[in-house]
Structure 1
């Protein structure tokens, strides 16, 4: 009976998890990005945010963003002088408040590589960062293999944030893995391959500790170097691909 009960519980939890209403899903079929949803971010961030605020080395280009074989592929390249890569977002097109977001992705790897799945508050143009809030669902830095970083940036905790968790997974570089955030008015829970790895729920919620009661938009990018990716880059690893199988957003 214990075994049967356990099977029922697992089945019930799985059914509930997958019975949420999907409000957006992208499987990257075809050979181009859906311009009604996705925006390209281009250049090096100058003059307003050179190095994108982190001393990153790459220049973002449309040529480094591809849709092929049912995947979004962001490619970091080096031609001996210049690093190029890809970055896209859903600002003004897909913005939502609360819900569950899932991204199935395969990491780019190597020293100096920094792929990320993250979200910014839609008020960033009005209030700036970090007042807008930032939700880092997944960050991987190639200089530290097997580690996934999950972080929240707020006015109370930004830059070297105290609201962070590093999860070690020996096989995280192998194949595709699922990265997920479940966001409510009370907490944000983060999962890797459906295993809960971090819960963020400050006891006191105000504009400094919890800027997460507004719509956010999604960003996917592959950075090179920078304050977090590290000053040393192994130029022998290029090109490197960060591949995204799908993106799903579930209703709160």
Structure 2
């Protein structure tokens, strides 16, 4: 569609400012586009009709359509591209199908940048419209780049689904989904995110965007990020996104999208424009407003609060302390917390912090020096409930627990948020950084045992909860291997109150000091199993409890006492 150049630049400026703190790299230079000016056939310099059926005569996922190069299935009209799915009998390549549509490949491929597609999306039952990308090296007969570059099978080539509709039938109409397919997760991939548009996507234009940097891939609806893919370990299995990809536009019928409505006649995806941005000019602007201040301090960690702004959208921070170093990248203009762990208690440290952008431009006030002295390491965190996040946020929070057996540490987290679905969890090691999948115990309870730890050493871990629509990461917890914090006594009445036998098989006998005693018992992830007021002599039936560790808290006029109970 014919656009006023000034309006286009102003609109992109607004989008860039809106997303400045949301994406890690802001791409400014328009390098390829199709505004779909004129009427009639699509621009063959920009697009290729992919029509060749896969082996077996059917498109993937049990889809029901033929893709054609007919102008009735793809054409430009009134400044917009129309991709039209139709109910009609059509024979091609020796196969007759009852639906036709179009599948367009861009003849342009690129590595790193941003795509904006302004479109109206069909929502009829059984339609599966998609805006997506494949590696230029995909081995797929009939694809535009296959003959010259097709050396990798799917999913080794990598697939980026910018927008799909109709395949998440449990979600309302106007819910769009993005997904990543890699050798580490494909098909029913766990790497998905989605959001619901704030207005009808069939009758209103929305901007569907993907921002791709060497560090992460973010998905936006109307310039708001709703999902980011950023695996901790980037290799051929998780990150085949270090090579060029090209764009695909199509409407599939049936298959994963479900039963096609018997009343279906035809429906269109109407695309106003497709624009690709990269940074083609050298970045010479250094970060500004750089600050580094001291946050919380424990016996084994120091928190540094970092902030700076940069035109690229990302600031890299390098920290030196003694012979050690730490590096991290954060979004521009957003204060972030960097926790330095594995420090010695009651020790002074000097941290030298520098800021730069990804092009190597350095802040004029580098370095900033922050001094801190760790506290005496009297306590560690063994278990409890929290809601603090190091990435995104929690609507309720989570339970956490650390338990040492020999030289193994069992780490258990439970997500308490009730507004998350499709939850999976990954344990994040703080130093050196690493990510490990956790095992689902039940509900949203996940556990992971790390082996071969040194008793008395301090370890730091957080948990990433990934779910439909995004992810949230807990804060990092420091734990001293071998600690059993729940045995800490908050009053001096331990010798006067008795709990036996411990370990217990069926019945736990309590001899308490008051006639009225408030008792609670929780499991290792903080779930409350007992909460009652009892007499001085009380028998607690634990015959139905599973074997494991439980925490008994007694509150009376003599104080509070915490006891770890072992159930055989």
State TM-score, norm by structure 2.
0.40
Contact 1:24 1:250 in 2 (8 A): yes
Contact 1:78 1:235 in 2 (8 A): no
**Residues 152 and 69 of structure 1, relative CA distance in 2, 3 Å threshold:** same
Q: How does 1:96-115 map to 2 (within 5 A)?
A: 96-115=110-129
For 2:275, the equivalent position in structure 1 comes to: 248
Q: Which runs of 5+ in 1 are unaligned?
A: 1-9
Q: Which of the residues 133, 139, 143 maps onto 1:119?
A: 133
Higher helix fraction: Structure 1 or Structure 2? 1
Q: Which of the residues 104, 111, 134 maps onto 1:88?
A: 104
Q: Which of the residues 35, 58, 65 maps onto 1:27?
A: 35
Could you say what the CA RMSD is over the residues aligned between the two structures, in angstroms?
2.2
For 1:134, the equivalent position in structure 2 comes to: 159
Q: Structure 1 residue 40 and structure 2 residue 49: aligned?
A: yes
How far, CA to CA, are the matches of 1:158 and 1:244 in structure 2?
28
In the TM superposition, structure 1's runs of 4+ consecutive aligned residues that sit over 4 Å from their partners are 14-19
SS of 1:204's equivalent? Answer: coil
State TM-score, norm by structure 1.
0.88
How far, CA to CA, are the matches of 2:44 and 2:63 in structure 1?
26
Q: Structure 1 residue 57 and structure 2 residue 84: aligned?
A: no
Higher strand fraction: Structure 1 or Structure 2? 2
- Please report how far the alpha carbon of residue 36 of structure 1 lies from its aligned counterpart in structure 2 after TM superposition: 1.6
SS of 1:62's equivalent? Answer: coil
Structure with greater Cα Rg: 2
SS of 2:119's equivalent? Answer: strand
How far, CA to CA, are the matches of 2:15 and 2:62 in structure 1?
47
**Residues 12 and 75 of structure 1, relative CA distance in 2, 3 Å threshold:** closer
- Please report how far the alpha carbon of residue 52 of structure 1 lies from its aligned counterpart in structure 2 after TM superposition: 2.3
How far, CA to CA, are the matches of 2:104 and 2:166 in structure 1?
19
1:181-228 Cα offsets, whole Å, 9 max, x none, are: 0000000011001111101100010000010000000000011011x2
How far, CA to CA, are the matches of 1:101 and 1:180 in structure 2?
5
**Residues 11 and 58 of structure 1, relative CA distance in 2, 3 Å threshold:** closer
How far, CA to CA, are the matches of 1:112 and 1:187 in structure 2?
32
Higher relative contact order structure (alpha carbons within 8 Å, sequence separation ≥ 6) = 1
Contact 2:132 2:161 in 1 (8 A): yes
Q: Structure 1 residue 72 and structure 2 residue 81: aligned?
A: yes
